Amino acid sequence: MRVAVLISGRGSNMQALIDSCRTAESPAEIVLVISNHPSAAGLSIASNSGIEVAVVDHKNFADRTAFESELGRTLKSASIELVCLAGFMRLLSPDFVNNWRNRLVNIHPSLLPAFKGLNTHKRVIETGVRVTGCTVHFVRPEMDDGPIIVQAAVPVRPDDTERKLAERVLKVEHHCYPIAVRWIAEGRVRVIDERAIIDNSNTTKTWLINPEM
């Protein structure tokens, strides 16, 4: 499966996807990385890994429609089959999202549908929830909405700062995103009634408690 990753910044999730797709048995291949910021650090990581990169700078377009047309053209000309948003900081229009329905995925650093939007970890700490995590989901027109493919839980510690928590969640993100992409490329993910069903998946754990007893 030909995969593109859309970034706006440092690209650590992109790097995790590149690494995992490099293995011989991977059914997915990262063939293109697109950034809307010419200075995104992830761009040089991708090109140093020998991956084609493109910049589609939203500032060069009159409006969102023109920006997204160019994005669509770039994806099409590389015969992209799956698009992964990885820290891509532009909201995409319903038209674009619907064109890529069930072929467009995102990673968000919380257990959706809780804590949609920005400053997730700060709000998690302020709210006092004991468990947070990350979510990989198919994208729908509403922000941080859509069928959930995989989630991982991360306990919130009493001494957590935004930074410490973000670091722990990010490590788990780097596991979850490659798994979700692999399952999609293997054809094991189906969306039925707006829920993602994963064929042949396991859940052996019965519960998680924080604080521990």
Give me the residues that bind ligand GRF (CB under 6 A), please: 7, 9-14, 86-87, 107-109, 170, 173
126 residue type, one letter = E
- Active-site residue 108, yes or no? yes
Instruction: Supply the minimum distance, in Å, between the C-beta of residue 4 and ligand GRF.
Output: 15
C-alpha dist (Å) from residue 189 to 37, 89, 128: 31, 26, 33
Considering the complex, state which of residue 12 and residue 132 has its C-beta at the smaller distance from ligand GRF.
Answer: 12
**Catalytic residue, candidates 108, 121, 137, 175:** 108
Nearer to ligand GRF, 129 or 166 (CB): 166
Distance of closest approach, residue 120 Cβ to ligand GRF, in angstroms = 8
Burial class (CB in 10 A: 0-12, 13-18, 19+), 16: buried
Q: Which helix (H) or strand (E) holds 101?
A: none
Q: Cβ closer to ligand GRF: 41 or 197?
A: 41
Q: Which helix (H) or strand (E) holds 76?
A: helix 64-77
Q: Cβ-closest residue to ligand GRF?
A: 87
Nearest distance, CB of residue 62 and ligand GRF, angstroms: 27
| Position 63, amino acid | D
Q: Which residues are catalytic?
A: 108
